[in-house]
Chain A
Amino acid sequence: MFFRSQHSKAILVVLLALAVAPVIAHLFDDVFYVGLLTRVLIFAIAAVSLDLIVGYGGMLSLGHAVYIGVGAYSVGILSFYGIDNGFIHFATAVAASALMALLIGASSVRTSGIHFIMISLAFGQMFYYLAVSVNTFGGDDGLRIGGSSDFGPFGDLSDPVALYYVCFVVLVLVLFALHQLVQSPFGMTLRGIRSNEPRMVSIGVSPFRYRLTGFVISGMICGVAGALLANQNLFISPASMHWSRSGEIMIMTILGGMGSLSGGVLGAAVYVGLEYFLSRLTEHWQVIMGPIIVVLILYANRGVFGMLSALKRAGK
């Protein structure tokens, strides 16, 4: 209980800081940081969605970037055909990633452990190469997106601050909804399957349906992150679906602490932040980034959140 309330206090502070961040960035006249923080928010949504299936469902997906790609290409391809309506963009992104997750999940969630990882990886690479090969939508070079999603009377997402706050609101809604979900009958069933599958079977639960449902919910949320990313970059390329991108999302989830949901926000902030600052220092930034990630994961085995609360306890 103690940890839980500490935890929610910490996330409240982080969210409040994120809520006022653009105002501060504006005061210092540095709009660039709004873009960087928007990226943090978008990957936070992806990392939180992955945590649902990894931390609560026990499904280690190494193909989660597929849904970023599906969400982003939904926006890109619709724009390509002259459809700028934001409602259609996001509805399509959600529907397409749900369908994709249903397809991938139906053939993978029966497996577990290393088999599941390999199947998710294989699907991820399959769609990566599909995107590379379709030249209509830019192939390997990617697809430039003409304009951002237009929500008619509500405006569009071309203004960086507006986009930032849309991402922020989406993240808060996702966190709140998943916070409810993991305690609901469905969420508890999913966690029970992760904890002890044979026991769940013996009390009358068929794991497949619950795993698949969790997998689809997770994919849908990640698809929204993809649609937001398309709006930020106004560009989409197959690289956003590459397995290494899936690995990055996984690292954010693990960094934040699996099974904590909000940990994904911290994980994304640490990862995107490190990536930005280190890449300004040297072009070989990955050489520094790698060991830092390894140390963080080794010494913060409950994620950055776990490390913070351990430090706090030690200080008392």
Chain B
Amino acid sequence: MSGLASLATENLFLRFGGLVATNNVSLDVRAGELHAIIGPNGAGKTTLISQLAGNLRPTSGCIRLNGEDVTTVPAYERARLGFGRSFQITSIFREFTPLQNVALAVQAQRGNEFRFWKPVLDDVSVTVPALEILDRVGLGKRANVLASDLAHGEKRSLELAIALATQPKLLLLDEPTAGMGPDESVFIVELLRKLKGSVTMVLVEHDMDAVFSLADRISVLVYGEIVATGTPAEIRANAAVQSAYLGEDEV
């Protein structure tokens, strides 16, 4: 079992010309917690996740994993340090089967891709854990269809399965239930609940019921800026959050 990871950002800024997409964000994600980030559309949630994952380089400021500066570490190396990411817009290998999709992530995590002969699918040390993960996300019976033929909800589950297969210490989840039906949504939320405590998670999510029932702490992002951080109860009671974001929503 790998140790739990903590993540922090210090005065993070990202400017696109005149636009400040990330404005002085100092986030503190404690080891083992599920930290939700909420905010209205266009608040810069995905942009923030992309900086955490290493796909975008912040203009200034610093990102720390377990206290160590990883701001300039490229995305693929960050993945090797234990960052796992699921994408808001489903990012899977469409011409592969779910089994192949997850097997790719399992073998990437092991770092043994420079083998040139034995087929991946003949290697039980890869396929067994891959099938196990597919079972966990409810895709066990769909392991061998083409990923592009999966229903939308199943694709979302596969998206999560790929992220889980890298055995991350820190999971960055960008709207894992986006576009899912209510039943599928509940299934994923329960899966995340089971994961809680075994991996540190940063969760961006629009489903407020899910966020408030899952999160240990919540940060509220408005126009690229964190306006509040606290427990679900604190956030619910926060006046600034009420006016800036939750105002019209009934929570």
Query: What residues of chain A have their CB less than 8 Å away from a CB belonging to chain B?
Result: 180-181, 183-189, 191-192, 195-196, 198-206, 210, 213
Q: Which of B13-21, B58-66, B99-107 contacts A (4 or more CB under 8 A)?
A: B99-107
Task: Say whether, besides A201-B79, A203-B108, A205-B108, A185 and B94 are in contact (CB < 8 Å).
Answer: no
Q: Mark B116-149, 1 if CB is under 8 A from A, else 0.
A: 1111110100000000000000000000000000
What is the distance, in angstroms, from A180's C-beta to the closest C-beta of chain B?
Answer: 5
Task: Say whether, besides A184-B120, A185-B107, A188-B104, A199 and B112 are in contact (CB < 8 Å).
Answer: no
A180 cross-chain contacts in B, Cβ below 8 A: 116-119
A210 cross-chain contacts in B, Cβ below 8 A: 113
B118 cross-chain contacts in A, Cβ below 8 A: 180, 184-185
Which of B74-122 touch A at CB < 8 Å? Answer: 74-77, 79-80, 84-85, 87, 91-96, 100, 103-105, 107-109, 111-121
Query: What residues of chain B have their CB less than 8 Å away from a CB belonging to chain A?
Result: 53, 55, 74-77, 79-80, 84-85, 87, 91-96, 100, 103-105, 107-109, 111-121, 123, 162-163, 165-166
Q: Give me 9 A-to-B residue pairs in the complex whose CB atoms sit less than 8 angstroms apart, sorted by A's number.
A: A184-B116, A184-B117, A186-B116, A192-B96, A199-B91, A201-B55, A202-B87, A204-B108, A206-B76
Contact partner, A188, options B79, B120, B165, Cβ 8 Å = B120
What is the distance, in angstroms, from A198's C-beta to the closest C-beta of chain B?
Answer: 6
What is the distance, in angstroms, from B124's C-beta to the closest C-beta of chain A?
Answer: 14
Cα distance A206–B117 when bound, in Å? 21
Contact partner, B109, options A181, A198, A200, A204, Cβ 8 Å = A204
Taking a contact as CB atoms under 8 Å apart, the answer to whether A195 and B96 are in contact is yes
Contact partner, A184, options B74, B84, B100, B119, Cβ 8 Å = B119
Task: Say whether, besides A204-B76, A204-B79, A183 and B107 are in contact (CB < 8 Å).
Answer: no
What is the distance, in angstroms, from A230's C-beta to the closest C-beta of chain B?
Answer: 28
B105 cross-chain contacts in A, Cβ below 8 A: 203
What is the distance, in angstroms, from B178's C-beta to the closest C-beta of chain A?
Answer: 16
Given contacts A185-B115, A186-B114, A204-B79, 19 further A-B contacts (CB under 8 A): A183-B119, A184-B119, A185-B114, A186-B115, A186-B116, A189-B104, A191-B96, A195-B94, A195-B96, A199-B93, A200-B104, A200-B108, A201-B75, A202-B75, A204-B108, A204-B109, A205-B108, A205-B113, A206-B74
Taking a contact as CB atoms under 8 Å apart, the answer to whether B113 and A185 are in contact is yes
Cα distance A206–B74 when bound, in Å? 9
Cα distance A202–B53 when bound, in Å? 8
Taking a contact as CB atoms under 8 Å apart, the answer to whether B91 and A189 are in contact is no
Cα distance A201–B91 when bound, in Å? 12
* Identity of the chain A residue whose Cβ is nearest the Cβ of B102 in the assembled complex: A203
* Identity of the chain A residue whose Cβ is nearest the Cβ of B80 in the assembled complex: A204
Cα distance A195–B80 when bound, in Å? 21
Cα distance A185–B74 when bound, in Å? 23
* Identity of the chain A residue whose Cβ is nearest the Cβ of B123 in the assembled complex: A185
A199 cross-chain contacts in B, Cβ below 8 A: 87, 91-93, 162
What is the distance, in angstroms, from B174's C-beta to the closest C-beta of chain A?
Answer: 11
What is the distance, in angstroms, from A12's C-beta to the closest C-beta of chain B?
Answer: 19
Taking a contact as CB atoms under 8 Å apart, the answer to whether B79 and A202 are in contact is yes
Contact partner, B166, options A192, A204, A213, Cβ 8 Å = A204
A185 cross-chain contacts in B, Cβ below 8 A: 107, 112-115, 118, 120, 123
* Identity of the chain B residue whose Cβ is nearest the Cβ of A181 in the assembled complex: B116
B113 cross-chain contacts in A, Cβ below 8 A: 185-186, 188-189, 205, 210
Taking a contact as CB atoms under 8 Å apart, the answer to whether B92 and A196 are in contact is yes
Contact partner, B76, options A184, A187, A192, A201, Cβ 8 Å = A201
A205 cross-chain contacts in B, Cβ below 8 A: 76, 79, 108, 113
A206 cross-chain contacts in B, Cβ below 8 A: 74, 76-77
